[in-house]
Structure 1
Amino acid sequence: MELDLAQPVGALTAQLVDVPSVSREEKPLADLVEGALRAVPHLAVDRDGDAVVARTRLGRAERVVLAGHLDTVPIADNLPSRLDEDGLLWGCGTTDMKAGVAVQLKLAAELAAPNRDVTYVFYDAEEIAAEFNGLRRLAEHHPDWLAGDFAVLLEPTANRVDGGCQGTLRVRVQTTGRRAHSARSWLGENAIHKAAPILTRLAEYTPRRVEIDGLVYPEGLNAVLIEGGHAGNVIPDSCAVTVNYRFSPDQSEDEALERVRGIFEGFEVVLTDSAPGALPGLSHPAAAAFVAAVGTPPAAKEAWTDVARFAALGVPAVNYGPGDPTLAHTREENVAVAAVEQSEATLRRWLTA
């Protein structure tokens, strides 16, 4: 089988969806993407693992990057794809984010002389732990492949520009006690009971809402897991509350961690995971031209995305792509073909006007 890049973008989306590519199993799709792009004469194509990068080399004054991941979450009895009478394409990965990948492929094949040089990045393992992320691997091994003045990550945003992204960190807030038989509880010290002030501080915390370049980033501080206890007749001697802090990109990871440590002063706080946020990146002329091409006001991205990896490389980036993000990862995942066509038309206009 070969990818048909000449077919309409909706049909191309369906073809991509019908090639299963659960995280760590992207090779068949990456092979198809690489083969299709190597047949395009105006592109230079490179590959690292299951990530494929294609670039124009026209000597334009600016270079922009269009990026999207090839992998999906596990299939939920929602393959093969199906197109209904209302123009909705149903199936695993339709929204997150093979519709965006189809847009990239159409533009890569058809824009031989865009007004800016373009790098098209197709990468693996976005949906699982960061250690496997293909964009992270490219940033570490081939940062020159990702170089540019501005980047668009085609994650689903319902075709709205979402600037930057929140940062995220997780900590374990820990308590200790003394183990005893629950029949003689006075001989012990209950570590779970000692966690009550942790939950009280979380319940009483007022999240910040931070405005940056006209976009408002709401923060969140929440318990997401509690661990403690040994058996139904044992006073526990340890307890840990895992707390997730989604922080505004006005803070660095270190500053966010210090804020969390201050909130839980008096408790042991252990960092378990962290990723930086990304500033909106809308001040660059290429970004302003892109927002103008979209034609609707941008908003803050209320999540973490791989735009942060571009920001770390000094490349301002935004999220923009077809599909309702609330449908991602669901059994009912679908995308309107009209929305995919709109995304393609917008990006084409931006790259050719």
Structure 2
Amino acid sequence: MPVLDLSASSLDITRTICDIPSVSGDEVTLADAIHEAIADLPHLQIHRDGDTIVARTDLGRAQRVAIAGHIDTVPINANLPTRDIEIDGVPHLWGRGTVDMKAGVAVQLKLAAELADPRVDITWMWYDHEEVDADLNGLTRLARTRPDLFAADFAILGEPSNGAVEGGCNGNLRAIARTHGVRAHSARAWIGENAIHRAAPILTRLAEYRPREIEVEGLAYREGLNAVRIGGGVAGNVIPDLCEVEVNYRFAPSRSAAEAEQHVRDVLEGFDVEIVDLAAGARPGLDAPLAQEFLAAVGAEPRPKYGWTDVARFSAMGVPAVNYGPGDPHLAHHDEERVPVEQIASVEAGLRTWLAKR
């Protein structure tokens, strides 16, 4: 088993855990290393569910904060082991997972080991299967088996945010819009009805759609409704009888999941529409007292989170949550994934300043 030394710097811990491959479905080696590294820390109570590990303080504090990060990555593409590089004179750590989101996990692990007497009780969560279907997600499983572990007054997810604070997140909906026709030989096309041609109005409506920008609790969320995939056809000489257009809708957290579904059905009225995935967004929750204290401690101006993240899971349980982690989200899943070294140190300092006992 790889040895994880939590007395090392956050940068070195990042390097170590990135160099332990943990593509979704293959997290066990890293989960074992994390479990071994924290198992004997007397100030933490450990709970393990598969490859999800929860470590809690129980100091009787008046408030509790949940701090979470996923340990899996998307597939490796010749971008491990990690290496140190400079871009325009700025030191970076390059490699799969450095941005999404092992630098954030490394900071959390170091602080979990060192903050034995924090000002609030802390629930640390490191979970598996974030990069794949939601029903495999470690937090989904944990919410079903141990919902009590989510109890908190405020939550932080270490998703990459360039070291800024990103409040809440947009919701995410995927739908399939289908058109139907009648097969025929393409030499006698008039006998059939072309399902692909019938899909043209769907594409026209989506191309003409103008997304909204909606302010929610002082943050401006941008929506988007787009065709992301299209399929149809049987053979090169057959008029197709089915065409499917996959549509993705990113909606502001002011809309409920039901309202988002109805909006998509309204835009695509007259077509056969199936909703295949739907996850509500999360309101920023920045009016919570702990959130205000956190913003003041890290000196951050909050921004909206356009993508969906697991902050929505906490929000659904009544826990206000934000994203706060090192790394540029534009480089998540990128083959040139890399994190500025300074951002790792900055996020560690911000969290430490806020969580340390005063």
The question of 1:247 aligning with 2:259 is answered no
The offset of 1:223, in angstroms, is: 0.4
* 1:46 maps to 2:47: yes
TM (norm. structure 2) is 0.97
Q: Does 2:301 correspond to 1:297?
A: yes
3-state SS of paired residue (2:243): strand
Match of 2:105 among 85, 101, 104: 101
Q: Matches of 2:91 and 2:269 in 1, distance apart?
A: 54
Name the SS for the 2:113 alignment partner.
Answer: helix
- Deviation sequence 1:264-299 (CA, Å, 0-9, x none): 111111111111111101111111111112212101
**1:4 maps to 2:8:** no
Instruction: Return the alpha-carbon distance in structure 2 between the equivalents of residues 169 and 150 of structure 1.
Output: 26
| Deviation by residue 1:286-325 (Cα, 9 ceiling, x = unmatched) | 1111111221210110100000111111111000100111
**Candidates 194, 199, 214, aligned match of 1:195:** 199
Question: Superposition RMSD on alpha carbons, in Å?
Answer: 1.0
Alignment partner of 1:311 is 2:315? yes
Measured after TM superposition, the shift of residue 70 of structure 1 is: 0.5
CA contact (8 A) 2:161 2:323 kept: yes
Q: Paired residue for 1:35?
A: 36
> What residue is the counterpart of 1:110 in the other structure?
114
Give CA deviations for 1:231-250 in whole Å, capped at 9, x if unaligned.
11111111111111111111
Show the counterpart of 1:83. 84
Which residue identity is paired with 1:223?
A
The reply on whether 1:261 has 2:262 as its aligned counterpart is no
Aligned residue number for residue 285 of structure 2: 281
Report 1:51-70 matches (<5 A): 51-70=52-71
2:11 partner SS: helix
Structure 1 SS opposite 2:199: helix
**What's 1:151 paired with?**
155
Cα offsets for 1:306-353 (capped at 9, x unmatched):
001111111110001001111111121111221101100000001124
Q: Pick from 222, 227, 230: which aligns with 1:226? A: 230
Q: CA deviation at 1:14?
A: 0.7
Matched, 1:23 2:27: no
SS of 2:6's partner is: coil
**Secondary structure, counterpart of 2:195 in structure 1:** coil
From 328, 349, 353, the equivalent of 1:349 is: 353
In structure 2, the residue corresponding to 1:152 is in which secondary structure? strand
What amino acid is aligned across from residue 14 of structure 2 in structure 1? Answer: T
- Worse-matched range after superposition: 148-157 or 135-144: 135-144
> 1:69 is aligned with what amino acid?
H
Which runs of 5 or more residues in structure 2 are unaligned? none
Distance (whole Å) between structure 2 residues aligned to residue 52 and residue 213 of structure 1: 33
1:124 matched to 2:128? The reply is yes
Q: Give distance in 1, aligned partners of 2:215 and 2:64.
A: 29
Q: Is contact 2:24–2:132 with CA below 8 Å preserved after alignment? A: yes
Q: Could you tell me which of 299, 310, 332 is aligned with 2:336? A: 332
Matches of 2:125 and 2:113 in 1, distance apart?
A: 13
Asked if the contact 2:298–2:353 (Cα under 8 Å) also holds between the matched residues in 1, the reply is no
Q: Moved runs in structure 1, 4+ residues, more than 4 A?
A: none
1:129-167 deviation digits (Å, cap 9, x = unpaired): 112111111111111112101000000000111011111
Q: What residue identity is the alignment partner of 2:10?
A: V
* 1:84-126 deviation digits (Å, cap 9, x = unpaired): 3542111110111110011101110111111110110000010
Q: What is the DSSP-based 3-state SS (H/G/I as helix, E as strand, rest coil) of the residue aligned with 1:274?
A: strand
**Range with bigger deviation, 77-86 or 229-238:** 77-86
Per-residue displacement from partner, 1:31-81 (whole Å, max 9, x unpaired)? Answer: 111111112111111100000000111111110011000111111111111
Per the alignment, in what secondary structure is the counterpart of residue 155 of structure 1?
coil
What stretches of structure 1 of length at least 5 have no aligned partner? Answer: none
Structure 2 contact 174–249 (Cα < 8 Å) conserved: yes
